[in-house]
């Protein structure tokens, strides 16, 4: 049987990977990464992922990094889980890849600037400006997603896919900042619907449990100084969401 281990930190984008694994139902192990303890920068971790990021999937001893790669591999390895639409030709498949890339490289970097703007400037007073610029950059993306969800229940119409979990992770992270999500009613409805999915509920529970455990060990990330004003929720275990 294929041995799978997911290295994750709570509430990071590894939440999407875990939802995929929960959907699949194939047994998997987890390794909790503490950013505060510097697990992701340790020699052992860097042998597996020199980039020092989560998610990291170890499959039969071999590392796989980058959510786009991990999710497409999982979708192909476990086709019955229907993580992604089944494509009959290369062009349709490339379109699906474009959607995953939109999440990973279009949205994720803006999420990070909204969550921790203080990491993107060298003077504390500049953090609000970084946040404001990220807000401007995110709005057209939220409009795009909201408009698509106004016509469809899920990203791909009637059928749920892991892209729904990915855009929902963006919603979840952004909703925890001062970014006003109230104009995006369809995206909000999508969030409520997704939260009812058993795979999502199990994942959220595991992430909350992991965050609580880290906090009990004094390993929760504390945002202080410039930019802390944006962080309404302190449950994140992520130094760099
Ligand atoms: N391109 C990577 C990005 C992964 C990433 O940035 N992960 C964040 C958590 S959401 C992380 O590990 N941050 C730790 C750090 O930057 O120190 C992917 O899509 O998988």
Residue 178 has pLDDT above 50, yes or no: yes
Which residue's CA is minimally distant from atom 2 of ligand 1? Answer: 66
The whole-number pLDDT of residue 241 equals: 62
The whole-number pLDDT of residue 124 equals: 84
Which residue's CA is minimally distant from atom 1 of ligand 1? Answer: 66
Q: Top-level CATH class of 90-197?
A: mainly alpha
The whole-number pLDDT of residue 102 equals: 98
CB-facing half-sphere around the CA of 201: CA atoms within 13 A: 6
pLDDT tens column, 55-97: 999 999 999 999 999 999 999 999 999 999 999 999 999 999 9
The whole-number pLDDT of residue 21 equals: 98
Residue 236 has pLDDT above 90, yes or no: no
pLDDT tens column, 123-144: 989 999 999 999 999 999 999 9
Which ligand 1 atom minimizes the distance to the CA of 55?
20
Higher pLDDT, 187 or 222: 187
The whole-number pLDDT of residue 240 equals: 53
The whole-number pLDDT of residue 65 equals: 98
The whole-number pLDDT of residue 222 equals: 74
Extract the tokens encoding 102: 């939109």
Q: Where are the domains of the chain?
A: 4-83+199-216, 90-197
What mean pLDDT value characterizes the chain? 93
Which residue's CA is minimally distant from atom 18 of ligand 1? Answer: 66
Higher pLDDT, 172 or 229: 172
Sign of the dihedral defined by the CA atoms of residues 154, 155, 159, 161, in that order: negative
Residue 108 has pLDDT above 50, yes or no: yes
pLDDT tens column, 21-54: 999 999 999 999 999 999 999 999 999 999 999 9
Indicate the pairing of strand 56-59 with strand 4-8: antiparallel
- Report d(CA 144, CA 193) in Å as an integer: 19
Q: How confident is the model at residue 186 (pLDDT cuts 50, 70, 90)?
A: very high
Q: How confident is the model at residue 112 (pLDDT cuts 50, 70, 90)?
A: very high
| pTM across the whole model | 0.93
CB-facing half-sphere around the CA of 127: CA atoms within 13 A: 20
pLDDT tens column, 210-234: 999 999 999 998 765 433 333 333 3
Which ligand 1 atom minimizes the distance to the CA of 53?
12
| Mean pLDDT to the nearest integer, 157-164 | 98
Q: How confident is the model at residue 200 (pLDDT cuts 50, 70, 90)?
A: very high
* 4-83+199-216 CATH fold: Glutaredoxin (3.40.30)
The whole-number pLDDT of residue 230 equals: 37
10 Å CB burial of residue 223 (0-12, 13-18, 19+) is middle
For ligand 1, residues with CB inside 6 Å are 12-13, 35, 40, 52-55, 66-67, 104, 238-241
Quote the ligand 1 centre to 177 CA distance (angstroms): 19
């Amino acid at each position: 049987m294929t041995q799978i281990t997911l290295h994750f930190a709570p509430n990071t984008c590894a939440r999407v990977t875990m939802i995929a694994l929960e959907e699949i139902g194939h047994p998997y192990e987890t390794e909790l990464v503490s950013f505060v303890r510097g697990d992701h920068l340790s020699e052992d971790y860097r042998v597996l992922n020199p980039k020092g990021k989560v998610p990291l999937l170890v499959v039969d001893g071999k590392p796989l990094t980058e959510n786009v790669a991990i999710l497409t591999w999982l979708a192909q390895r476990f086709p019955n889980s229907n993580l992604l639409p089944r494509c009959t030709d290369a062009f349709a498949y490339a379109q699906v890849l474009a959607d995953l890339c939109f999440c990973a490289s279009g949205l994720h970097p803006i999420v990070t600037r909204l969550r921790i703007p203080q990491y993107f400037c060298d003077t504390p007073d500049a953090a609000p400006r970084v946040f404001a610029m990220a807000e401007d950059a995110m709005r057209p993306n939220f409009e795009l997603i909201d408009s698509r969800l106004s016509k469809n229940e899920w990203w791909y119409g009637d059928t749920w896919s892991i892209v729904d979990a990915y855009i929902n992770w963006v919603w979840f992270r952004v909703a925890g900042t001062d970014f006003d999500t109230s104009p995006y009613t369809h995206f909000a409805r999508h969030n409520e619907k997704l939260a009812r999915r058993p795979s999502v509920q199990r994942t959220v529970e595991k992430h909350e449990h992991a965050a609580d455990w880290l906090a009990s060990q004094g390993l929760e990330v504390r945002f202080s100084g410039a930019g802390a004003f944006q962080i309404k929720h302190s449950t994140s275990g992520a130094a760099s969401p």
